[in-house]
Structure 1
Amino acid sequence: MADADAAAIRASRAEWAAQHLVTYLESGGAQGHILNLHDVGGRTCTTHCLIRYTGRKSGQRYIKPLIYGNFGGEIVIVASKGGADSHPEWYLNVVSGDTLDVQIATQAFEASWREPEGDERHQVWEYMCHLYPPYISYQQSTSRRIPLVMLNLQTPTEIFTIES
């Protein structure tokens, strides 16, 4: 999919995504963790986490809501960018550092990350496509291999706020 097409899809959902983030943050994670994404091809109970990372150029802190799965005790997030031909900025920022923070519902942790390889990657990809079927069409629409990021939760930290 051309980046312009993916950008149009993201723009049409931008208000929804911004409100989702505010709801998640203002509720301390009590709301926004599980959403019904059936209207966009997802499941009725789709789990979302928040990641907090530092911009590799700006040094600013950012918070991004993402669909996640739990595979073998690790949290999995997908750098799909709706099937765009370029990686999402959050992914480029995450891979430029050693750790990031993740909030799942009402609990937050510092986490290390890694990218699965080989057969493990195939298994994780299949699992994530089961959780959110649109990932299949996202991958078909781009020549880039959509990255998977596996998070190993470590030290508990304070839940995210709008100011963090």
Structure 2
Amino acid sequence: MADVDAAEIRAERADFMAEHLASYLESGGTRGHILDVTSVGGREITTHCLVRYRGRTSGRVYVKPLIYGNVGGEIVVVASKGGADTHPEWYLNIIAGQTVDVQIATQAFEATWHEPEGTERHNVWEYMCHLFPPYINYQRSTSRHIPLLMFSAVRPIDVFEPGDSHSP
């Protein structure tokens, strides 16, 4: 998918995503963890986490809501960017650092990350496509290999606050 087409999709959903993030943050995680995303081809019950990261050039802190899966106790997110031909900025920022902060519902933790490879990647990709079927078409629409990130908890931290981030 051309970046222009992906940008149009993101622009149409920008209000929804901003409202989702605000609800998740303002409620301390009691709202926003599970959403019905059938309107975009997903499932009625889809889990979302918050990922807090630092901009690699700006140094600013950002928080991004993302669909996630749990594979063997690790949290998995997909850097799909709706099938755009370029990686999402949040992914580039995360891989520039060693750790990332993650919030799932009302619990937050600092985490390390890795990108699965080989058979592990194939199995995790299949699982994530089961959780959110649009990932299949996102991959078909781009020549870019859509990355997966797997987060492992290191230590608990306080849940995120509404003032913790800048808008990306």
- The offset of 1:162, in angstroms, is 1.1
Q: Which residue of 2 aligns with 1:34?
A: 34
Q: How does 1:45-64 map to 2 (within 5 A)?
A: 45-64=45-64
Q: Which residue of 2 aligns with 1:43?
A: 43
The gaps in structure 2 that reach 5 residues or longer are none
TM-score (norm 1): 0.99
Letter in 2 for 1:45: I
Letter in 1 for 2:137: S
The separation in 2 between residues aligned to 1:126 and 1:35, in whole angstroms, is: 21
Describe the SS at the equivalent of 2:162: coil
Q: Which residue of 2 aligns with 1:22?
A: 22
The separation in 1 between residues aligned to 2:151 and 2:22, in whole angstroms, is: 23
Find out whether 1:117 has 2:117 as its counterpart.
Answer: yes
The separation in 2 between residues aligned to 1:45 and 1:24, in whole angstroms, is: 16
CA offset digits 1:68-100 (Å, max 9, x no partner): 000111000000000000000000000000001
The gaps in structure 1 that reach 5 residues or longer are none
Letter in 1 for 2:43: R
The separation in 1 between residues aligned to 2:154 and 2:33, in whole angstroms, is: 20
Q: How does 1:101-140 map to 2 (within 5 A)?
A: 101-140=101-140
Letter in 2 for 1:57: T
Q: Which residue of 1 aligns with 2:77?
A: 77
Q: Number of matched residues? A: 164
Letter in 1 for 2:103: Q
The separation in 2 between residues aligned to 1:63 and 1:102, in whole angstroms, is: 9
Displacement over 2 Å in runs of 4+: none
- The offset of 1:119, in angstroms, is 0.4
Q: How does 1:144-155 map to 2 (within 5 A)?
A: 144-155=144-155
